[in-house]
Amino acid sequence: MSDRRRFLHKCTLAILASAMPGLPALNAFPESSGRGKNNTSAGKTILFQGDSITDAGRDRGHYYPNDGRGMGGGYVRMVASTLLGEEPEAGYRIYNRGISGNKVYQLADRWQDDCLQLRPDVLSILIGVNDFWHTLDFNYQGTAETYENDFRDLLKRTLNELPDLQLIIAEPFAVAGGSAITEKWEAFKPYQQAARRIATEFNAAFIPLQSIFDEALKHAPASYWAPDGVHPSMAGDYLMAQAWLKAMRG
Amino acid sequence: MSDRRRFLHKCTLAILASAMPGLPALNAFPESSGRGKNNTSAGKTILFQGDSITDAGRDRGHYYPNDGRGMGGGYVRMVASTLLGEEPEAGYRIYNRGISGNKVYQLADRWQDDCLQLRPDVLSILIGVNDFWHTLDFNYQGTAETYENDFRDLLKRTLNELPDLQLIIAEPFAVAGGSAITEKWEAFKPYQQAARRIATEFNAAFIPLQSIFDEALKHAPASYWAPDGVHPSMAGDYLMAQAWLKAMRG
């Protein structure tokens, strides 16, 4: 509610400002080709990083900012659509660089190209479910400690290059009752605790997705929010997108 | 704002109702497989019909209700995600049956399978841009009168079978400055006027998309909202989805 009010207030200010002489006019966006591409350099660059939940089937050939085909079909798309639709004057440049199956060390492997060189103002990271899951399914040897240390190193490296970065860390989650979630997932909790510690340590906004999905389970079962317990449905995407927008807008 | 309040109020009522003995419990959704599939038959069936703007690259092999892969990447996805996310107890069954390139007579050709047999409670139709555009590009011979008559016949046939249908008609639109929009598009206006007349005649909720995009052009150019003037960007999807939700919720 207050986010919405803040947004409307911001719109009013933007509209008033644009009507005042000597200030930048509306319609400041240069013409550009491509579906929804916006080449302005005025606004914040927002980068989404993560695994399949972030990737959500994006077309990796479409890597320009604000390109609908490169945004995937998940929570990132809904966030991007909302920010671009509600704040046309903001000049956001939004990138999705999630890659299905990634663990935190795989983010590190591609960090120069897929984060640092994009010079984000806002960096959102959702990572960790595969750091645990692949110990069950793919004989991956990492532990919660590996995850936490790798995550910490990655963020130190990032903030070293981008000291003014606004950091958003989304909690990795598992939706109870989902087809992939067994009693073994009790051992996932230390990864979630590590993500929360890391967020505190780096003064990041933290999105408590586990409690958001736990709350949602009071209204419909896992099959409704995330059938396998890991990958959200459209309804789950909505919950994530709303929580993300709340985190970014404070 | 009032929509959001109405929603919260509705949620509160739903939560109170579920806590009262003798009333249906929460978590009433049966378990089901598939990404976000919801097999409950309790709620409204909502059907989206139209052309490429509605289709938006949906996977036509995924034809079950509420299936994210079958919902495309456009305004329908955002509406579906919002309705399913905000109202998990509503039991909505949402179908996208838009097909790229369709004109109104092509809806009629597939109406038995793609509308009547689905027995929608809410039918949303966005059709008309190709009925005009294809007279420029594909030597299509139909006129605004053809469009209006075909549209009227289609709706008569529909209401004959589904007399209690809630009908939503979205205005076909062209965003000035888009790469496909030339001065010839002045002749598109009679199609838009026909859509509005049809909506009045059939007591449908009407979504005035042309004025919504015209208003948006005060804030950013066509390249931002719909680069070719016909197919919306993610920002354009947002405008459409919000307008749709407002129309449905009254």
Among A97-111, A113-127, B41-55, B117-131, the least confident range: B41-55
Residue B92 has pLDDT above 90, yes or no: yes
DSSP three-state, residue B207: strand
CB B235 within 8 A of CB A85: yes
DSSP three-state, residue A232: coil
**Contact call for B233 and A35, based on CB within 8 A:** yes
CB B72 within 8 A of CB B56: yes
Q: pLDDT of B70-85, one tens digit each?
A: 999 999 999 999 999 9
- Most A CBs within 10 A among B7, B67, B76, B81, hence the mutation to make, goes to B81
Domains and CATH numbers, chain A: 33-174+183-208 (3.40.50.1110)
CB B85 within 8 A of CB A239: yes
Is residue B4 within 8 angstroms of chain A, CB to CB?
yes
A82: CB partners within 8 A, 6+ apart: A241, A245, B238
Taking CA atoms, A152 is separated from A126, A138, A159, B28, B146, in Å, by: 14, 24, 11, 42, 65
Q: pLDDT of A143-184, one tens digit each?
A: 999 999 999 999 999 999 999 999 999 999 999 999 999 999
Dihedral in degrees, nearest 10, Cα atoms A175, B65, B129, B212: -50
DSSP three-state, residue A125: strand
Region label for A231, one of left (φ > 0), alpha (ψ between -120 and 50) or beta (otherwise) = beta
End-to-end CA distance of chain B: 13
- Looking at residue A191, its amino acid is Y
**What's the pLDDT band for B103 if we cut at 50, 70, 90?**
very high
Once rounded to an integer, what is the mean pLDDT over residues B115-141?
96
Residue A127 has pLDDT above 90, yes or no: yes
Residue B15 has pLDDT above 60, yes or no: no
Q: How far apart are CA B75 and CA B178, in angstroms?
A: 19
Residue with the bigger pLDDT between B136 and A28: it is B136
- In this structure, what token pair is assigned to residue A24? 């930048």
What pLDDT was estimated at residue B250?
80
* Helix boundaries (H) for A110-233: 111-114, 129-137, 144-161, 189-201, 209-216, 222-225
Which chain B residue has its CA at the smallest distance from A230's CA?
A: B35
Residue A134 has pLDDT above 60, yes or no: yes
CB B154 within 8 A of CB B108: yes
Q: Is the dihedral of CA A213, A216, A218, A220 positive or negative?
A: negative
Residue with tokens 């990655």: A154
**Contact call for A238 and B84, based on CB within 8 A:** yes
Beta bridge partners of A170: A126, A207
What pLDDT was estimated at residue B10?
42
Q: Which of A158, A53, A69 lies closest to A115 in space, CA to CA?
A: A158
Q: B155 vs chain A: nearest CA distance in angstroms?
A: 30
Element (H, E) at A183: none
Which of the residues A51, A52, A67, A237 is marked catalytic? A52
Catalytic residues of B: 52, 228, 231
Is A18 designated active site? Answer: no
**Contact call for B227 and A84, based on CB within 8 A:** no
Q: pLDDT of B205-239, one tens digit each?
A: 999 999 999 999 999 999 999 999 999 999 999 99
What part of B 18-37 touches A (C-beta under 8 Å)? 26-27, 29, 31-37
Beta bridge partners of B166: B122
Once rounded to an integer, what is the mean pLDDT over residues A45-68?
97
Compute the radius of gyration of chain A from its Cα atoms: 19
Q: B101 vs chain A: nearest CA distance in angstroms?
A: 18
Locate the DSSP E strands across chain A.
45-50, 93-96, 122-126, 166-170, 205-207
CB A14 within 8 A of CB A89: yes
**What's the pLDDT band for A137 if we cut at 50, 70, 90?**
confident
How confident is the prediction for chain A on average, in pLDDT?
87
Q: Which of B36, B30, B35, B66 lies closest to B48 in space, CA to CA?
A: B66
Counting one residue from chain A and one from chain B, the pairs whose CB atoms sit within 8 A come to: 155
Taking CA atoms, B142 is separated from B2, B131, B135, B189, B195, in Å, by: 42, 7, 7, 15, 15
Max Cα distance, chain A (Å): 64
Give CA angle at A89 (A77, A8), nearest 5°: 85
What part of B 92-131 touches A (C-beta under 8 Å)? none
Count of Cβ atoms closer than 10 Å to residue A62 Cβ: 15
How confident is the prediction for chain B on average, in pLDDT?
87
Residue A4 has pLDDT above 90, yes or no: no
Give the rounded distance of the alpha carbon of B137 from its chain centre. 25
- In this structure, what token pair is assigned to residue B46? 């909502």
Residue with the bigger pLDDT between A238 and A27: it is A238
Could you tell me how many helices (H) and strands (E) chain B has, helices first?
11, 5
**Contact call for A233 and B29, based on CB within 8 A:** no
What part of B 189-228 touches A (C-beta under 8 Å)? 216-221, 223-225, 227
CB B172 within 8 A of CB B126: yes
Residue A14 has pLDDT above 50, yes or no: no
**Contact call for B29 and A78, based on CB within 8 A:** no
Residue B28 burial (10 A CB sphere; 0-12, 13-18, 19+)? middle
Residue B28 has pLDDT above 70, yes or no: no
Q: pLDDT of A202-250, one tens digit each?
A: 999 999 999 999 999 999 999 999 999 999 999 999 999 999 999 998 8
Looking at chain B, the whole-number percentage of residues with pLDDT higher than 70 is: 83
Residue A27 has pLDDT above 80, yes or no: no
What part of A 59-98 touches B (C-beta under 8 Å)? 66, 68-69, 71, 73, 77-78, 80-82, 84-86, 88-89
Max Cα distance, chain B (Å): 64
Q: How far apart are CA A243 and CA A224, in angstroms?
A: 18
